[in-house]
Chain A
């Protein structure tokens, strides 16, 4: 709360300083010609006043509490040192909650632990009070100091505009850096947590193991049971669903693109493209709902019906199998995912086909080829690399898609090529592992990061290859 106030004060102070600086510059302008417009002088002073102080406050708000916790936990009292790590964590949390006057956990501490808790809470309280005071004071000093340093330097010869533009340039660069920092953040956080997972499960067992039974890890004595975290069934399931999805999306999406770019007139395009964009804008959770409550029951009904036809005939085993087919089959998730990918593939391929130079078409028509022959013999071969890139991007999306498989694919991990079987996928398992009530440190939870790292790696490679291809292809015709 005091920090909101501090920010508000800082803002008010900076605005006041801006106004003062502008006024002073305007006053100076009477004598000599100013280098910049008066407003730039105001902004320059306000930046020196506000930015360093604001950065200090922000730094303290994000890093301060963690630093405090680390400091307090640096020398654990004897009563805590012997506790298992989870209870010790609860102890530290309680100490912090106590210091902030918040309710603590329900754990009953022994008298000596209680005493240690009180002592640590007192320490934390002292640290919190001191650090908050220090941060506020430092921010105040910086704001005032910045102002006092900048103020006397306002003069007609000061290149205020260039200075302000220097600040702006730094801000712009910082914003671009965030994009790079995000990548670094993803890689660092996934690697860090995945390493903790691989400390209990060897990476090779994870990548090549054929058994996926994460629930085993709930029992203390079987934490590192061999084969329990073999991810091959998940990869197989993901692959199967992806193949089904691409079987639906690739032909339909590609033909949509061909029709839109080669056959459809202006008005038809104007109507169909926005409609496809709506299909692309439907949230994946809606596709999941559609898969679970419409497509799943529909397919099951269809296959059960065929099964009842075949049963007790020459194909009895097949009939029996079809009659037992469930809602949650790979086919359901795959087909719905394919529907989701149609507009994606269509719009990517549409761009790529449009980039094929008109001269190639004209040449083909001049030789007497029909439209379809032009498409098949000239345009598609020319656009092939680009189309392949689009397909790879679609595959990468299919692999990383979560909600459809979470709502419509099964949870049994098995290796099969039969789309009527229920399979589970990498993303579905990640959701299952991380939405449980497990301790964060258990291998079961950490396994999600092993899966996440694999998923990130696979999609990254696919994306890099695909984007490379698409870019090369664009350059070829630019």
Chain B
């Protein structure tokens, strides 16, 4: 017997073993690093969105009283009166500031209060003309830039020429706040208003409703068609060249860029069939075509997972093939099918590019009246606001993203719960 300890190769192999173990540790570290990088991106992404958007959930309102001077209001042409100017002068009086000859001061004061005030005064007078001559009190949002100042996003330390508000305006805002006329509160307008050119009045309701309508149309078409197509391919289709061709076709469709579906929608639905542009109906059809392949693939996978014994038992009891599939196989596969449907609709909810192709970039204030009228949808709203010049739209962009993500997470969570609770392991 040779003493292994004395052989030079023992040292060598120990050294090599050490190297190999070091390589092993390094490799594992790379893997962990990759996971950390991927999850780090997720955290940074979500954190940035929240950080840029959380401010949108509260806002500032100003309570101001306006003396409706009969001498200044033209009763014959109510709509022609500049009530904002009137209100601004009242505000200046309250601040004990003398307006200059050019009206610059009242102009600057007008830029502090939302234009909503003028409409509110007009509405009050229209309701009851007798209010002219009295003093009314209104609570309205402050203008977006003033709101940004209160939230600390416009700072006094920036040189006056570089910021949207003058020193004088900042002084007034400080005084208004000190006098308790300005109140900060939950921004319900963001959830009850639709898109607007004025940032402080822009909200997501129109986009949420538009998205919901579009998703309904998409689901109404894609779910039955997708599920039935999958049932045919999986349970009825003769295995052969035709079903092979359809399968390749569907797999390819699932990987076609979404923007191409937008082109299809533009040509087929809008140019050839005369569907309305930018409407939830057209958008829903495009999204339905887009989510069809993924629904088919998910449904087929769920059907495949149902063991043949179920089918054999049903057939053995004398059920026809159709009865077997619709009474036994499909109900057993339902949780998997539902999960696939929800995930694919959640994806459709966040899709933007094909909707740009069918003209959804147009500015659409107000709620959509029908499936065929112009509407805005959440992801496109994000895109539009991101392009807007005003700084106040940036927090709204992030706010709309938060709303969008909440909906997506709700849908995904539903899918996960469905999968966890109802999916059977055979």
**Does the CB pair A283–B379 fall under 8 Å?**
yes
A299 within 8 A of partner (CB): no
**Does the CB pair A372–B35 fall under 8 Å?**
no
**Does the CB pair B292–A182 fall under 8 Å?**
yes
Chain A residue with minimal CB distance to B350? A283
Shortest CB distance A278–B (Å): 6
Measured between beta carbons, the chain A residues less than 8 angstroms from B352 are 283-285, 402-403
- Bound together, the chains give a CA A348 to CA B42 distance in angstroms of 19
- Bound together, the chains give a CA A202 to CA B49 distance in angstroms of 46
**Does the CB pair B347–A281 fall under 8 Å?**
yes
Within the complex, which residue of B26, B246, B267 is in contact with A180, where a contact is CB–CB below 8 Å?
B246
Given contacts A279-B42, A400-B257, contact A175 B225 (CB under 8 A): yes
- Bound together, the chains give a CA A292 to CA B45 distance in angstroms of 12
Chain A residue with minimal CB distance to B45? A290
In chain B, positions 368-426 with a C-beta closer than 8 Å to chain A are 379-380, 382-383, 386, 394, 397-398, 401, 404-405, 408-409, 412, 416
Within the complex, which residue of A183, A254, A294, A370 is in contact with B249, where a contact is CB–CB below 8 Å?
A183
**Does the CB pair A279–B272 fall under 8 Å?**
no
Given contacts A284-B353, A290-B45, A370-B23, contact A259 B267 (CB under 8 A): no
**Does the CB pair A263–B31 fall under 8 Å?**
yes
A146 within 8 A of partner (CB): no
- Bound together, the chains give a CA A327 to CA B22 distance in angstroms of 41
In chain A, positions 323-364 with a C-beta closer than 8 Å to chain B are 339, 342-343, 346
Measured between beta carbons, the chain B residues less than 8 angstroms from A472 are none
B327 within 8 A of partner (CB): no
**Does the CB pair A192–B292 fall under 8 Å?**
no
A35 within 8 A of partner (CB): no
**Does the CB pair A275–B39 fall under 8 Å?**
yes
Measured between beta carbons, the chain A residues less than 8 angstroms from B320 are 161-162, 165
- Bound together, the chains give a CA A336 to CA B49 distance in angstroms of 15
Measured between beta carbons, the chain A residues less than 8 angstroms from B350 are 281-286
**Does the CB pair B386–A407 fall under 8 Å?**
yes
- How many chain-A residues does the 8 Å CB contact rule pick out? 93
**Does the CB pair B292–A431 fall under 8 Å?**
no
Shortest CB distance A40–B (Å): 10
**Does the CB pair A256–B38 fall under 8 Å?**
yes
**Does the CB pair B41–A431 fall under 8 Å?**
no
**Does the CB pair B49–A289 fall under 8 Å?**
yes
Given contacts A289-B49, A371-B24, A372-B24, contact A255 B34 (CB under 8 A): yes
Measured between beta carbons, the chain B residues less than 8 angstroms from A284 are 350-353
Measured between beta carbons, the chain A residues less than 8 angstroms from B236 are 169, 172
**Does the CB pair B412–A278 fall under 8 Å?**
yes
- Bound together, the chains give a CA A260 to CA B33 distance in angstroms of 12
**Does the CB pair A259–B35 fall under 8 Å?**
yes
In chain A, positions 171-187 with a C-beta closer than 8 Å to chain B are 171-173, 175-176, 178-180, 182-183, 185-186
Within the complex, which residue of A185, A294, A371 is in contact with B264, where a contact is CB–CB below 8 Å?
A185
In chain B, positions 272-305 with a C-beta closer than 8 Å to chain A are 272-274, 289, 292-293, 296
Shortest CB distance A12–B (Å): 20
Measured between beta carbons, the chain A residues less than 8 angstroms from B125 are none
Shortest CB distance A93–B (Å): 11
Using CB atoms and an 8 Å cutoff, list the residues of chain B in contact with chain A: 20-21, 23-24, 26-28, 30-35, 37-39, 41-42, 44-45, 48-49, 52, 224-226, 228-229, 231-233, 236-237, 245-246, 248-253, 255-261, 263-264, 266-268, 271-274, 289, 292-293, 296, 320-322, 343, 346-347, 349-353, 356-357, 359, 361, 379-380, 382-383, 386, 394, 397-398, 401, 404-405, 408-409, 412, 416
Closest 10 CB pairs of A and B: A400-B257, A283-B350, A259-B31, A255-B34, A372-B27, A189-B267, A172-B232, A402-B353, A175-B229, A175-B228
Q: Can you spell out 23 A-B residue pairs with CB atoms less than 8 angstroms apart?
A: A66-B274, A178-B292, A183-B252, A190-B260, A255-B33, A255-B34, A255-B35, A259-B28, A278-B42, A281-B347, A282-B408, A283-B404, A293-B386, A373-B23, A373-B24, A397-B257, A401-B257, A402-B356, A407-B386, A435-B356, A435-B359, A440-B271, A464-B252
Using CB atoms and an 8 Å cutoff, list the residues of chain A in contact with chain B: 62-63, 65-66, 161-162, 165, 168-169, 171-173, 175-176, 178-180, 182-183, 185-186, 189-190, 192-193, 251-256, 258-260, 262-263, 272, 274-279, 281-290, 292-294, 339, 342-343, 346, 370-373, 375-376, 393, 396-397, 399-403, 406-407, 427, 430-431, 434-435, 440, 448-449, 452, 455-456, 459-460, 463-464, 466-467
